[in-house]
Structures are given as C-alpha cells and as structure tokens.
Amino acid sequence: MALRRRVERVLSRVERPARYIDSEWGSVRDRDATHRTVLAYPDTYEIGQSNQALAILYARINAKTGFSAERTYVPWVDMSSEMRGEKIPLFSLESVTPVAEFDIVGITLPYELTYTNILELLDLAGIPLRASDRTDRHPLVVGGGPCAYNPEPLAPFFDAIVIGEGEDVVLDVVRSHRDARDAGLSRQDTLASLARIPGVYVPSLYEVDGEGGLRAADPAPSVVVKRVVSDLGAHSPPVCGIVPFMDVVHDRVGVEVFRGCTRGCRFCQAGMVYRPVRERRADDIVRDVMAGLAHTGYDEVSLTSLSTTDHSQIEEVVRRLTNRLDGTGVSVSLPSLRVDAFSVEMARLVSAGRTSGLTLAPEAGTQRMRDVINKNVTEDELITTITHAFKSGWRRVKLYFMIGLPTETDADIEEIGHLVSRVLACARAEVKPDERGSVRIAVSVSTLVPKAHTPFQWLGQVSLDEVRRRQQVLRSTMPRKGVDLAWHDAEVSFLEGVMARGGRELADAIEAAWRAGARFDAWTERFDLRVWLDAFSSAGVDPEAVAGRSYGAHDALPWDHISCGVSRTYLWRELERAQRGASTEDCTFSVCTGCDVCTGLGVDTVLGGDRRGTG
C-alpha cells in the first residue's frame, strides 16, 4: 500500500492529525527537482512551523531550478509509536516521501533540549544515528542553527554542520552535494568537498587532541568561521509562505527588521554570534508586511529582531504600518522591548500593545549586578517606564530576571524582590484606586547558562543545589500579592548547561538518554532528569563537572574550532570588565568597542539612520 495511504490510516488514532498532513497554503512541491532536501525541525509541527530560519531556507532552496526542499517534524509520542507499530518510516509532509530517500536531511539545532529528538528523527527515518555508520546509500545529514556554535555534543551524529547565517551557504551546500553525487564521489570525498565551503564544519575531519581541543585533518580548516550575510536587503525574505491547518506557536506574519544586537549583554549568546547589526530598510519592512498579510490572510504581524525598538527607523515603520492598517483589524506586535519609555511609546502605538501586556527585562535587582552583565539600564529608567506604561493604560507587566550570575551575592538576589515591590507600588500609584486590584506583575526568573562565545564562557555554571538555595532566597523577599512568580526549572537549566558547555564526550550520554526513552525534553511533562543522570553515568560523564567547569585564559575550550567572528581577546576583556563592574557601550550608539567582527568578517554595521542612544 502507498505510504500516504498507510499514514492516513493511523491518523484517526493520534492527537492532532493536522501535524502530519500536507498541502497547506503556500507549501511547495517540485516534482521535477533532481536534488531533494528535507528540512527537519526537532520538535512538533506547531513549534517548528513557526521557525523563521527554516522558512528562509525552504524558500531559498525551492527558488532554485533543479533543487527542492520539503519539511518534516518529530512525530509526537503517540504518532511515533503508531509509526513504529505499522513500520511507517518518517516521511516528508509535501510528498509523503520517506526521509531516508532524500539527498540531504537538514536538521536545525534550535535548543539544547531538542538533542534526543534529533536521534528520534534519524531513527524513525531508518538512518544510522552515527555518521560513521552511514554509507553512500544514506542521505547526507546536515545541521545548523543556534546550537551549532557548540556543535561538539552532537558532532558524531552529523555529516556536516553549518555555522552562521544560512541564506547563502545553504545553496553552496546543495550545489556541492549535487555535483559530488553526479560525479559519483564517495561519501568521504563528498565530505571533503563540503569541508572546503566556508562556514561548513565536517566533524569526522576533526580529532580530539590531548589538550581538550580539536585537530583538523586536511582539507578542513583549523577554525570554521561563521557565514554572514552582508546586505539583508539583497535577500528578500519569504512572503511568509505557509499557512498551517492548525494553531502553531506564532500564528502570524513575522518580518525581520534587523539582525544582530550590539547592546553587549555579557550573558547573551545571540548578542555575540549574530553581530554585526544589519538593519533592513523601512521601505522593505513595510513592503514585506503588506505582502505577507495579503498572501496569508493573517490578522497579526510581528516585527522581529533581538531588540526591535533599537531599529533606527522604527518610528517611521510603526507610523506607516498603523496608517496602512488602520481599520483592517490587523495588529502589529513588537516582541522584544528595551526598558525605556520610547519602547513603551512604540508598543502603545501598535494595536496589540495594551491587550497583550508589556514585557521588560531588567535581568538583575541591583545596579552593581546589572553593570556586571552589562545590562545598561538603571532603576530610574525602569520606574519611569513602568509609570509611563501604567499611565498609558497597561495593567499587566512581565519582568525577566536571572540568577546564578557571576559575583552574585544573596543581597543581589534579595534586591530583585525589593525592586519588584517598588515596581508594584509605582504601578498601583498610576491607576485609580478601584482598579488597583487588576495590576499584575509577572516575574519570570531563569538561571544563567554561561554559553559559548560570550564573555562568561570561561565561567562554570552554578551547581543545581546552589540554584535551588538561591531560588529560596529570592522567594523570601518577593511580594506575594499582585505578583505571579515563575521559575525556569533549575533541573532544565542544569541540563542546558551540560549540553551548552560540554564536548564530544556527551554524544554517548545523549544516545543513552534517547535509548532510555528521553524525547521532547523541552516539554515540562516529558522532562525527567533521572533518565539523564543514568545516561551520564552509563557514558562515564560527570555532568556537574561539565556544566560547572571554569576555564583559564589559555585553556582550550570545546568550541575553540568554531568562530562567530567576535575575537577571544574582546570576550576576555569583557569578562575582566564584568569582574570590575565596568559597563561597555553599544557600538551602534557610540564608537566601535573593538569586538573585531566587522574587520574579521569584512561585514559592516548597516544602519538606516541614527539610533537612539538612551538605555
């Protein structure tokens, strides 16, 4: 029986069958392509379908004659068990083709807790988990995405991993693979040709040396430098191609307004690895919003970036959009706001602002701590912003904080609770007495994971027991009335820390955890640290030591063979400045602060106008 028919027969037995059916509006099926890629997101359809990077790659490949891209996601546990029972292999949505029959399987690496899902994808597809066990008849398994900046825990499972922005390199990879295949090259020679493409890391060509670093074999470069797009305007993003049949996490048109962020928060990996800042032009943004809405029929558009109100033309963009969309019922949202009154004003101008609540990230309770992490925001600014917001009609605000920060003391943590009390009092003072009951402050607290390619990369993560103790310290000073306190689970942060900070030794543990049933670890109801602790122990790995290890200035780091362009010298200098509590300015507001990314990559900061320099 045809695979499509067999899939359809099991759909009535699983929850949300719309996850597994094809022909959504905007999806592409190219029957004439001679080289076929399937793009996989290692989580459910509704999470993966919202991913903008995959949408870009999908559009880029499908726009090239002779090449096609389809999609696949990880079946939820009910579906995977039906598929195993009925011997249905993992298939693509567009043509219900077994994933193992594609030329390339491209898997995005969005988050450390999706690692077991990657093995689930490969296993359901019938592809050997380890690259070393694959032969010429297997597809090439290629990774890419945020977690590629420390690829080592996953290295043995991938034939190649792309570092950096995918727009250009994705075409280099598919062309190189097509040429190698057509020339009849062996798998090994194919991998060697891929290793010559800038930004492509072929793990099998690197060996762990005695110092904890990696040694490259010819023709692989000793350091793989990320790919970067110099002119975002030259790459028109997809007109938000696909409209799903079911609710997905971001059910709206997403338009990227700029890439990169040079605010320089020292904990933030995205702020370092996506440098330099490249703004898109106001005309292009407005054009893409209107085209996306017309194509999809969505009634919401989100202007995305790491800090949207930093865009030098954001006022113009917002004004033009509100004029064009007036009376259409379409709302505009700015998902990432700075703690400043200007951001609140911008959010107020777009229609979704008041209803959705406001989200601000002071990150720490004391000025000393905010200086350590380079969060250039003062308490006065926060209070002014809150005053402005509640005066403008908001009744709810969400505040993000972090604990486990370098040099943090109990007094710093207690001050988070005191700061929230002051925010609450200020918010209540701005509303009429009979409305004060509706004032809510949601406080969300996460634990620092010192990530690769940040100034904190040399520092170990605070231990699990210590995080739990610090959470209690915070709880004791947090006001209860009017405040909803939520934690990022300490055990989850711990596992993130192990995966973010470890090397190749973790691959065996990931495989052992998957074999013991770990799947969808990012889903609270599925996460079980005990399974992981057993897996670490069977692989001979001490997870506390991996996450908690601190490094010296000259020690080899597990990700030293990967470069995001920001120099090690700059990161170390930023670590020293953190320890002195000295802040560093944003180069798009002042002068170059010497991270070396522009010179190193030959790509300049691109601004459409002058940025506002206020915090």
| Residue 597 interacts with ligand SF4 (CB under 6 A): yes or no | yes
CA distance 95 to 82: 20
Three-state DSSP string of 277-322: CEECCHHHHHHHHHHHHHHHCCCEEEEECCCHHHCCCHHHHHHHHH
Nearest distance in Å: CB 164, ligand SF4: 15
Positions 343 through 382 that interact with ligand SF4 (CB under 6 A): none
- Choose the binding region for ligand SF4 from 149-157, 237-245, 320-328, 594-602 (rule: CB under 6 A): 594-602
Q: Which is nearer to ligand SF4, 430 or 574 (CB)?
A: 574
Q: Which is nearer to ligand SF4, 523 or 572 (CB)?
A: 572
Among 243, 291, 341, 598, binds ligand SF4 (CB under 6 A): 598
User: CB of 543 within 8 A of CB of 533?
Assistant: yes
Tell how far CA 344 is from the center of its chain. 25
Nearest distance in Å: CB 603, ligand SF4: 8
| Residue 285 interacts with ligand SF4 (CB under 6 A): yes or no | no
| Residue 299 interacts with ligand SF4 (CB under 6 A): yes or no | no
Nearest distance in Å: CB 92, ligand SF4: 39
| Residue 275 interacts with ligand SF4 (CB under 6 A): yes or no | yes
Phi, psi of 215 (to 5 degrees): -110, 130
Nearest distance in Å: CB 429, ligand SF4: 40
| Residue 605 interacts with ligand SF4 (CB under 6 A): yes or no | yes
CA distance 451 to 470: 20
Task: Look up residue 439 and give its two tokens.
Answer: 């004032």
Nearest distance in Å: CB 600, ligand SF4: 8
Positions 229 through 268 that interact with ligand SF4 (CB under 6 A): 262
Per DSSP (E only), the strands in 110-223 are: 140-144, 160-162, 200-201, 206-208, 214-216
Phi, psi of 482 (to 5 degrees): 85, 0
Q: Which is nearer to ligand SF4, 372 or 606 (CB)?
A: 606
Tell how far CA 563 is from the center of its chain. 18
Total length of the chain: 615
Three-state DSSP string of 42-94: CCCHHHHCCCHHHHHHHHHHHCCCCEEEEEEECCCHHHHHHHHHCCCCCECCC
What are the residues whose beta carbons fall under 8 Å from the beta carbon of 498, sequence distance 6 or more?
506, 536, 543, 546, 547
CA distance 69 to 71: 7
| Greatest Cα-to-Cα distance within the chain, rounded to the nearest angstrom | 78
Edge to edge, the sheet with strand 253-256 lists 253-256, 300-304, 331-333
Among 185, 425, 592, 607, binds ligand SF4 (CB under 6 A): 592
Nearest distance in Å: CB 262, ligand SF4: 5
- For CA atoms 551, 267, 235, 65, the dihedral sign is positive
Nearest distance in Å: CB 565, ligand SF4: 9
Task: Look up residue 360 and give its two tokens.
Answer: 């601000």
- Choose the binding region for ligand SF4 from 45-53, 241-249, 534-542, 597-605 (rule: CB under 6 A): 597-605
Site string for ligand SF4, 165-204 (x = CB under 6 A): ----------------------------------------
| Residue 312 interacts with ligand SF4 (CB under 6 A): yes or no | no
Edge to edge, the sheet with strand 200-201 lists 67-73, 35-41, 104-108, 140-144, 160-162, 200-201
| Residue 611 interacts with ligand SF4 (CB under 6 A): yes or no | no
User: CB of 409 within 8 A of CB of 476?
Assistant: no
Q: Which is nearer to ligand SF4, 275 or 388 (CB)?
A: 275
- Choose the binding region for ligand SF4 from 88-96, 478-486, 524-532, 587-595 (rule: CB under 6 A): 587-595
Nearest distance in Å: CB 351, ligand SF4: 34
CA distance 543 to 141: 27
Among 77, 336, 596, 612, binds ligand SF4 (CB under 6 A): 596
Task: Look up residue 431 and give its two tokens.
Answer: 């509303």
Nearest distance in Å: CB 597, ligand SF4: 5
Among 587, 606, 608, 611, binds ligand SF4 (CB under 6 A): 587
Among 240, 546, 595, 606, binds ligand SF4 (CB under 6 A): 595
Nearest distance in Å: CB 163, ligand SF4: 18
Residue 155: how many other CB atoms lie within 10 Å:
23
Site string for ligand SF4, 34-63 (x = CB under 6 A): ------------------------------
- For CA atoms 170, 176, 178, 180, the dihedral sign is negative
Nearest distance in Å: CB 596, ligand SF4: 6
User: CB of 13 within 8 A of CB of 79?
Assistant: no
- Choose the binding region for ligand SF4 from 114-122, 358-366, 426-434, 585-593 (rule: CB under 6 A): 585-593
CA distance 522 to 158: 21
CA distance 347 to 396: 14
Among 52, 477, 593, 612, binds ligand SF4 (CB under 6 A): 593
Q: Which is nearer to ligand SF4, 403 or 597 (CB)?
A: 597
Site string for ligand SF4, 106-135 (x = CB under 6 A): ------------------------------
Size of the site for ligand SF4 (CB under 6 A): 12
| Residue 276 interacts with ligand SF4 (CB under 6 A): yes or no | yes
Nearest distance in Å: CB 564, ligand SF4: 11
Q: Which amino acid is residue 493, in one-letter code?
A: S
Q: Which is nearer to ligand SF4, 431 or 598 (CB)?
A: 598
Binding residues for ligand SF4, per CB under 6 A? 262, 275-276, 587, 592-598, 605
